[in-house]
């Protein structure tokens, strides 16, 4: 039977690539994000493969999250797969110089937003005693790097929530797992550096970073395992990267 996947952060990067691979593999797709124009364009593109619906909301706005999910038409109301992907880093500053606005954004989006979306979707999975939640963490969920302070803290929280969800939802047969990528060439660094494209490009200079498609491919692999196999926690880096701070560049 065709499964329905709900993907947050589908306007760009990992979320967009995941929507494309799942659409080609017979999933119905619910695309989420704030940029309506991108969601509409992607919906039009993917409609050649599958049924697609999009929801425009900011994951920080809990009322909007719950209203958007409650508004899903019948054909999309049963969510089999939740990809908690929306998130970003804002800034890369030592703790003493960090901006409170950046801290609020990361905590509100990466932690609270993930919780709001999960809270709105988990009850139907619990009732059906089935479902699969994939939380996108980061290597920053596993180690802290200089100036990464609050971003790393939010991703450590995602790691903890992933473990907690897996324990609490175990009784209901719901799969929960996290994928923790190292550096992936997406719009991530443009957002982190607030549109400074040179600084963003430098992050991926002199080596072959992961691409969004690499992570999407892994997400599809994780989803396509038999029911008794749950990939609970997976760290993936480009070959040139050995840790958050060790990258072999030309």
Listed ranges 15-23, 117-125, 135-143, 212-220: which one lies at the site for ligand 8X3 (CB under 6 A): 135-143
Please, what is the angle between helix 13-24 and helix 36-46, to 10°? 20
In 3D space, the residue among 249, 246, 248, 217 whose CA is nearest the CA of residue 234 turns out to be 217
Q: Which two tokens stand for residue 40?
A: 């509409």
CA atoms within 13 A on the CB side of 143: 11
Residues 90-149 touching ligand NDP, rule: CB under 6 A, are 109, 136, 138
User: Which of 93, 108 has the CB closer to ligand NDP?
Assistant: 108
Q: Which does 244 bind (CB under 5 to 8 A by kind): ligand 8X3, ligand NDP, none?
A: ligand 8X3
Give yes or no for residue 7 binding ligand 8X3 (CB under 6 A).
Answer: no
Min dist CB 61 to ligand NDP, Å, is 8
User: Which of 27, 188 has the CB closer to ligand 8X3?
Assistant: 188
User: Which of 4, 139 has the CB closer to ligand 8X3?
Assistant: 139
Give yes or no for residue 199 binding ligand NDP (CB under 6 A).
Answer: no
Residues 60-119 touching ligand 8X3, rule: CB under 6 A, are 89
Give yes or no for residue 188 binding ligand NDP (CB under 6 A).
Answer: yes
Residues acting as catalytic residues: 151
Is the CB of residue 55 less than 8 Å from the CB of residue 82? no
Residues 231-241, buried b or exposed e (16+ Cβ, 10 A)? Answer: bebbeebbebb
Residue nearest to ligand NDP (CB): 13
CA–CA dist 29, 192 (Å, integer): 28
Give yes or no for residue 34 binding ligand NDP (CB under 6 A).
Answer: yes
Give yes or no for residue 183 binding ligand 8X3 (CB under 6 A).
Answer: yes
Q: Which two tokens stand for residue 178?
A: 């996290």
CA–CA dist 147, 140 (Å, integer): 11
CA–CA dist 19, 55 (Å, integer): 14
Q: Return the residue of 3, 45, 51, 58 that touches ligand NDP, per CB under 6 A.
A: 58
Min dist CB 145 to ligand 8X3, Å, is 7
Min dist CB 103 to ligand NDP, Å, is 14
Give yes or no for residue 238 binding ligand 8X3 (CB under 6 A).
Answer: no
User: Where does residue 209 rank: exposed (0-12), middle (13-18), buried (19+ CB within 10 A)?
Assistant: buried
Positions touching ligand 8X3 (CB under 6 A) are 89, 138-140, 148, 183, 188, 244
Q: Which residues bind ligand NDP (CB under 6 A)?
A: 8-15, 33-35, 58-60, 85-88, 109, 136, 138, 181, 183-184, 186-188, 191, 212
């Amino acid at each position: 039977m065709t499964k329905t996947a709900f993907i947050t952060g589908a306007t760009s990067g990992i979320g967009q690539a995941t929507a494309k691979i799942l659409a080609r593999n017979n999933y119905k797709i619910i695309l989420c994000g704030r940029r309506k124009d991108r969601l509409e364009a992607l919906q039009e593109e993917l409609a050649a493969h599958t049924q697609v619906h999009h929801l425009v909301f900011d994951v920080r706005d809990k009322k909007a999250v719950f209203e958007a999910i409650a508004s899903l038409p019948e054909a999309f109301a049963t969510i089999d797969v939740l990809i908690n992907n929306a998130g970003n880093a804002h800034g890369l500053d030592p703790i003493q110089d960090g901006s409170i606005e950046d801290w609020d954004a990361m905590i509100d989006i990466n932690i609270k937003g993930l919780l709001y979306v999960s809270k709105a979707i988990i009850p139907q999975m619990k009732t059906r005693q089935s479902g699969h939640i994939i939380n996108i963490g980061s290597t920053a969920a596993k180690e802290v790097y200089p100036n990464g302070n609050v971003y790393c803290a939010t991703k450590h929280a995602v790691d903890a929530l992933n473990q907690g969800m897996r324990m609490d939802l175990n009784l209901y047969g719901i799969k929960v797992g996290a994928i923790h990528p190292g550096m992936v060439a997406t719009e991530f660094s443009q957002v982190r550096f607030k549109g400074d494209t040179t600084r963003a490009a430098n992050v991926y200079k002199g080596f072959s970073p992961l691409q969004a498609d690499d992570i999407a491919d892994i997400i599809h692999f994780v989803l396509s395992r038999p029911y008794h196999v749950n990939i609970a926690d997976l760290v993936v880096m480009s070959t040139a990267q050995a840790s958050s701070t060790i990258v072999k560049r030309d």
